[in-house]
Amino acid sequence: MSARTTAEASGTSGGEGLARAFYRFRQNPLSLVGLVLVALLLFLAIFGPLVAPYPEHLAGEVSVLDRFKPPSAAFWFGTNEVGQDILSMVVAGAQVSLLSAMGVIVIATLIGTLIGLAAGYFGTWIDEVLMRFTDLILTLPALILAMAIAAGLGPSIVNMVIALALAWWPGFARLVRGEVIGLKEEQFVVAARAQGAGAGRIIFRHILPNVTSPIIVKMSLDVGFAILAVASLGFIGIGVRPPTPEWGVMLSVSRSNLPHFWWTAIFPGMAIFVAVLAFNLFGEGLRQALDPRARR
Amino acid sequence: MLSYVLFRIALIVPLLIGLSLLVFVIGRVLPGDPAALAAGPYATAEQRAAVAAEFGLDQPIAVQYWDYVTGLFEGDLGRSIMTRRPVAGDLALYLPATLELVAASLLLAVAVSIPLGLVAGLTANRAPDMTISAGTLSAMSMPQFFLGLVLQLIFAMWLSLLPLSGRLPFTVAPPPAVTGFYTIDSVLAGQWHTLWLSLVHLALPAITMALAPIAMITRIMRASTMEALQQDYVRNARALGLSIRLILFKYVLKNAASATLTMIGLYVGWMLGSTVLVEKVFDWPGIGLYATNAILNQDFNPVIAVTLVIGVIFIATNLIVDLLYGVLNPKVGDR
């Protein structure tokens, strides 16, 4: 009984709702472009080493004679200062970028959702304390906070992901709290409470399922910005270090090759741009399809 | 109104205490053993102890925090481990450079995005709007450091139209320091050539930093213009035959101003965060570059200080924005 009410309240959990959401998603050609690009990025992230034209270059097996080759039929994106094929590096970079960005968003979502659920449901001083702490984190730009935490934790990919997630969760906490405050007076929550359900059961069985679609929308929108943040930290020199093929690191190294060997900068930069754009388009499409308020 | 202002200022005190605690935990507690970092990997136990004593790191954490906070009131932000210079002096040197860059980008962003958003809102879903909206979506996805590199490549390296980096050429002395803004100081000193040079040096980094805010503010402006055009009083004014220009300035812009103002408050924080990237690309000697170098050297006092300063600027900007919002929107100020 309660499970059914929950599904109805969300409006998108049922098969019919999903079909309708997908129909709305398809209405916007830009969303479809985003979907195709996201699928391509995921494909590269999983099968990158198999499709890279020169996988041996990634391991450092290069010829000095191939240094700084401009884009050609053999090297579509040219080669860099040690003779590595840039296309292969860009393809391999998709894995690093997507994995770390998704790691950031998943951890941030977990922290933010738990804090938002607790603050929104219990209210009173719990809400007050949790939200003041959230506001405090928000006074610092995420990039600065992540840099400072990453510096404290020491340089590594895992620490960078943790640092970004610790700077990223407040957005999720605020989103979830707002939704929960709206939901907790709804009939199905009141009914569950009347039946004697405990706080944990109400929160996770009745409220959480109804918050999932805004959470998923924010996650998909944020992956793009997390890719940007990962590349930014790589560019600054915190987080991913050379020779790991990461787009921001590649761009940072390429600075000393300009202006003559422009392709060493342009292609990794374009990769970041396209990846962020893909998730922005996809996330925006998802928002319009799933969020009834966004449909105007 | 005055009681509202005082109330808002009082609200800031706990936020500032929290901020100082937060940056202290990140900068001093997270790294574990700052003295070992400061003394370097080959230091002996005695050398490490000497460094710890010099920077007060041998005291209990609570005492260290107390010393740090009392130091703040005297304008003492500690010393850099690398250079042994007082951090407050360094900040006085680098902060104006950052503020000048942020102010220039903010002016540029507002000047460009308000007309753009207005045009997009007025031509909603027609060609000009489609072009502007596609442009804003792309601009939001553009990594700043990549944009900066591309601008350098085109305008500084290939076309040689604008300088590559820095605030002034090495051969030109900065104007006598009054505000620390080279543009304003050169006007005050009547050094017109220096003013011109500092403006051309400012151009590329300011454009780089302004692009994403331009995109965001344009979108907000577009949405609020469209919303304002739907309002009954605007439709009524149009039906009565008021000129579209009068309606725009009297109703639409006024309505859109408060929404845009809130965005600007948020964007100052975002811009301060992005200074670390833009300043690195353009070798702009501001607090972003200072913080980056400090972080790479694990020099904790400058990191704490820069984080604190950025947090304080963000809090202050939002206070000002909220108060201005109250002026624009009297309903808010009456609380």
- What confidence tens digit (pLDDT) does each residue in A249-271 have? 888 888 877 777 778 788 888 99
Q: Return the minimum-mean-pLDDT range out of A32-41, B242-251, B313-322.
A: B242-251
Q: Return the minimum-mean-pLDDT range out of A168-182, B115-129, B249-263, B298-312.
A: B249-263
pLDDT for B333 equals 45
Q: Smallest CA–CA separation between A21 and chain B, in Å?
A: 23
Residue B187 CB partners (closer than 8 Å, separation 6+): B195
Interchain CB contact of A243 with B (< 8 Å): no
- Give the number of residues written for chain B: 335
Q: Do A139 and B314 touch (CB under 8 A)?
A: yes
Smallest Cα–Cα separation from B304: which of B23, B31, B19? B23
Nearest to A258 among B153, B272, B276 (CB): B153
Burial class (CB in 10 A: 0-12, 13-18, 19+), A276: buried
Interchain CB contact of A290 with B (< 8 Å): no
Q: Do B153 and A142 touch (CB under 8 A)?
A: no
Tokens in use for B299? 């020099």
pLDDT for A164 equals 92
Q: What is the DSSP string of A213-232?
A: HHHHHHHHHHHHHHHHHHHH
Nearest to B18 among A136, A143, A272 (CB): A136
Cα–Cα distances (Å) from B83 to B276, B296, B306, in that order, read 20, 14, 16
The confidence band for B73, taking pLDDT boundaries of 50, 70 and 90, is confident
| SS3 of residue B252 by DSSP | helix
pLDDT for B220 equals 85
Judge whether residue B334 has pLDDT over 50.
no
Sign of CA dihedral B162, B166, B172, B178: positive
Beta bridge partners of A79: A85
Residue B92 CB partners (closer than 8 Å, separation 6+): B180
Nearest to B307 among A148, A224, A237 (CB): A148
Q: Do B146 and A280 touch (CB under 8 A)?
A: no
Q: Smallest CA–CA separation between B277 and chain A, in Å?
A: 7
Residue B296 CB partners (closer than 8 Å, separation 6+): A151, A236, A237, A238
Judge whether residue B152 has pLDDT over 80.
yes
Which residues 260-279 of chain A have a CB within 8 Å of chain B? 262, 265-266, 269, 272-273, 276-277
pTM attached to this predicted model = 0.85
Average pLDDT of the residues in B266-273? 82
pLDDT for A11 equals 44
Q: What is the pLDDT of residues A108-165, one digit of tens each?
A: 999 999 999 999 888 888 888 898 889 888 888 888 888 888 877 877 888 889 999 9
Nearest to A262 among B153, B270, B307 (CB): B153
| SS3 of residue B77 by DSSP | coil
pLDDT for A241 equals 75
ipTM above 0.90 for this complex:
no
Residues of B in contact with A156 (CB under 8 A): none
Residues of B in contact with A154 (CB under 8 A): 31
Domains in chain A and their CATH numbers?
A: 20-294 (1.10.3720.10)
Residue of A nearest to B16 (CA): A136
Average pLDDT of the residues in B298-309? 84
Residues of B in contact with A228 (CB under 8 A): 141, 143
Average pLDDT of the residues in B78-97? 85
Most confident listed range (A111-115, A121-125, B171-175, B288-292): A111-115
Which residues 248-267 of chain B have a CB within 8 Å of chain A? none
Nearest to B303 among A151, A273, A276 (CB): A151
Q: Return the minimum-mean-pLDDT range out of A240-244, B82-86, B89-93, B280-284.
A: A240-244
Nearest to B30 among A30, A153, A252 (CB): A153
Residue of B nearest to A229 (CA): B143
pLDDT for B136 equals 87
Residues of chain A predicted below pLDDT 50: 1-13, 295-296
- Which of B295, B301, B308, B322 to mutate to probe the A interface, most A CBs <10 Å? B295
Sign of CA dihedral B272, B25, A112, A129: negative
The confidence band for B128, taking pLDDT boundaries of 50, 70 and 90, is confident
Distance (Å, whole) CA A279 – CA A283: 6
Contact predicate A188/A206, CB 8 Å: yes
Residues of B in contact with A231 (CB under 8 A): 143, 145
pLDDT for B81 equals 76
Residue of B nearest to A247 (CA): B146
pLDDT for A106 equals 96
The Cα angle at residue A151 between residues A146 and A156, in degrees rounded to 5: 90
Residues of B in contact with A262 (CB under 8 A): 153
Residues of B in contact with A273 (CB under 8 A): 138, 141-143, 146
Q: Smallest CA–CA separation between A146 and chain B, in Å?
A: 10
Q: Smallest CA–CA separation between B326 and chain A, in Å?
A: 21
Contact predicate A227/A277, CB 8 Å: no
Residues of A in contact with B141 (CB under 8 A): 224, 228, 273, 276-277, 280
Q: Do B295 and A238 touch (CB under 8 A)?
A: yes
Nearest to A251 among B138, B149, B310 (CB): B149
Interchain CB contact of A256 with B (< 8 Å): no
How many Cα atoms occupy the beta-carbon half-sphere of B240 within 13 Å? 9
Query: What is the three-state SS of B11-69?
Result: HHHHHHHHHHHHHHHHHHHCCCCHHHHHHCCCCCHHHHHHHHHHCCCCCCHHHHHHHHH
Tokens in use for A18? 């999903």
Helix and strand totals (H; E) in chain B: 15, 0
